[in-house]
């Protein structure tokens, strides 16, 4: 019998926490000589790869028929119904440099629908999680997006392009507008953490382009279940594979999308 979404989420939280504890221990004696370059400014370490292997092994026991869409490609099996979308270490550069903002991110697709998301932010020992129609939580307590609707009262988050600079011009125009109008703009270096912070109201909205499915899958579920809105730059639902995303409290999304459209026209 297939576990419920809630049961799957609870088990996934345990897996994410266990993996995060492994990362924290490895960070104490991290061997920087084992860093690899996947592409321009795109780093991977043995910690990323081993973390992914640990996660997949545990999820295979939890849901044997499931498949995987995982950043490091340690398992490319696809499931007929269920597929886990995994970033074992979101914020690899932070981890390598000793900046304590990085997370385990695990989402679950049931067919084409995201139904579960877990983001475990290791540095603060914070586990954000949600499942379809079940609400969103942080370490057992319900969370909700902010209710701020005046751009001047908001704190926004983004991610800087690091190897795809094709939209840099329009990105910088929009960034300038946010810097002049919002209370502040932050760049943490972990999209999963950014979206988790939107879900609990620390940030009011987040936007970025050139993201992969494993960067946003878990966070999107958590934001939505926390009462927020998640779209691509056109306001549509193609954020998982469309490589662009706006996640916010819903009150700001229309304004943000309009400005993005203005600078991309």
Residue 139: pLDDT over 60: yes
63 three-class SS: coil
Averaged pLDDT for residues 169-177: 88
Q: Among 207, 225, 222, which residue's Cα sits nearest to residue 264? A: 207
What is the rounded distance in angstroms from the CA atom of residue 64 to the CA atom of residue 57? 10
> pLDDT band for position 49 (50/70/90)?
confident
**What's the pLDDT at 33?**
67
Question: Are 117 and 172 members of one domain?
Answer: no
Query: How many other C-beta atoms lie within 10 A of the C-beta of residue 153?
Result: 11
Residues 78-111: tens digit of each pLDDT: 999 999 999 999 998 899 889 999 999 999 999 9
Final residue of a structural domain among 142, 171, 197: 142
55 three-class SS: helix
**What's the pLDDT at 196?**
98
Residue 264: pLDDT over 90: no
Question: Are 131 and 38 members of one domain?
Answer: yes
Number of domains into which the chain is organized = 2
CA dihedral 119, 240, 116, 49 (to 10 degrees): -50
> pLDDT band for position 40 (50/70/90)?
very low
Averaged pLDDT for residues 226-248: 96
**What's the predicted TM-score (pTM) here?**
0.93
**What's the pLDDT at 39?**
46
**Domain coverage including residue 205:** 151-264
- Report the chain's C-alpha Rg in angstroms: 17
What is the rounded distance in angstroms from the CA atom of residue 140 to the CA atom of residue 136? 9
Question: Are 240 and 201 members of one domain?
Answer: yes
Poorest-confidence range of 40-44, 45-49, 161-165, 237-241?
40-44
> pLDDT band for position 1 (50/70/90)?
confident
Mean of the per-residue pLDDT values of the chain: 91
> pLDDT band for position 36 (50/70/90)?
low
Question: Are 10 and 134 members of one domain?
Answer: yes
Residues 56-65: tens digit of each pLDDT: 999 999 999 9
152 three-class SS: helix
Q: Percent helix, strand and coil across the chain, each rounded to 5? A: 40, 25, 35
Question: Are 68 and 160 members of one domain?
Answer: no
- Cross-strand bridge partners of residue 114: 109
Final residue of a structural domain among 124, 142, 160: 142
HEC assignment per residue over 211-243: CCHHHHHHHHHHHHHCCCEEECCCCCCCCCCCC
| CATH code, domain with 251 | 3.40.190.80
DSSP, res 11: H
**What's the pLDDT at 167?**
72
Six-digit token string for 164: 């795809």
Question: Are 163 and 242 members of one domain?
Answer: yes
What is the rounded distance in angstroms from the CA atom of residue 91 to the CA atom of residue 215? 10
**What's the pLDDT at 41?**
40
Contact 15, 55 (CB under 8 A): yes
Question: Phi/psi of residue 232, each to 5°?
Answer: -85, -175
**What's the pLDDT at 46?**
80
| CATH code, domain with 63 | 3.30.540.10
């Amino acid at each position: 019998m297939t576990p419920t979404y809630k049961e799957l989420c609870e088990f996934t939280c345990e897996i994410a926490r266990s993996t995060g504890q492994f990362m924290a221990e490895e960070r104490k004696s991290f061997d920087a000589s084992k860093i690899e370059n996947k592409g321009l400014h795109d780093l991977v370490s043995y910690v990323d790869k081993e973390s992914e292997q640990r996660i997949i092994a545990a999820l295979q026991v939890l849901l044997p028929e499931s498949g995987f869409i995982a950043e490091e490609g340690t398992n490319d099996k696809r499931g007929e119904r269920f597929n886990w979308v995994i970033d074992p270490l979101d914020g690899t550069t932070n981890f390598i440099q000793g900046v304590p903002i990085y997370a385990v991110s695990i989402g679950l697709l049931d067919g084409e629908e995201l139904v579960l998301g877990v983001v475990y932010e290791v540095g603060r020992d914070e586990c954000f999680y949600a499942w379809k129609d079940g609400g969103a939580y942080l370490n057992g307590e319900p969370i909700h997006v902010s209710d701020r609707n005046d751009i001047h009262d908001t704190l926004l988050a983004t991610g800087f392009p690091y190897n795809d600079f094709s939209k840099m011009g329009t990105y910088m125009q929009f960034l300038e507008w946010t810097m002049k109008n919002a209370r502040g703009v932050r760049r943490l270096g972990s999209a999963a953490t950014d979206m988790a912070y939107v879900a609990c109201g620390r940030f009011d909205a987040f936007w970025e382009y050139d993201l992969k499915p494993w960067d946003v899958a878990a966070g999107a579920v958590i934001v939505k279940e926390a009462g927020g809105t998640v779209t691509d730059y056109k306001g549509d639902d193609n954020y998982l594979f469309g490589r662009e995303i706006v996640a916010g409290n819903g009150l700001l999304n229309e304004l943000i999308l309009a400005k993005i459209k203005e600078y991309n026209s």
